[in-house]
Amino acid sequence: MNQFIITDSEGGQYFQSYDSIIAVIRTDGVIELDKDYWDYSVTTGRYRNRFLGEKKKETQKKIDQGIYKLVNLN
């Protein structure tokens, strides 16, 4: 109920949990995660995993490899 997927006018998709943007998939395929909130709670993580289509371990690996960027989305 407190998690949302928002699509912008250009087709980018944002995952929002409560009042915080957690992740964005840009139209060019770049994925950015909020540096402070991407792993905020178990519930946020569950919905983030659904949004990205992967488990936390895969997400962490992509962060470590520089595939996903940690940025300030809020």
Q: What is the pLDDT of residues 25-70, one digit of tens each?
A: 999 999 999 999 999 999 999 999 999 999 999 999 999 999 999 9
Residue 1's pLDDT is 78
Q: Are 20 and 34 in contact (CB under 8 A)?
A: yes
Residues 6 or more apart in contact with residue 6 via CB below 8 angstroms: 13, 14, 16
Residue 15's pLDDT is 97
Helix (H), strand (E), coil (C) string for 6-66: EECCCCCEEEEECCEEEEEECCCCCEEEECCCCCCCHHHHHHHHHHHCCCHHHHHHHHHCC
Q: Where are the domains of the chain?
A: 3-71
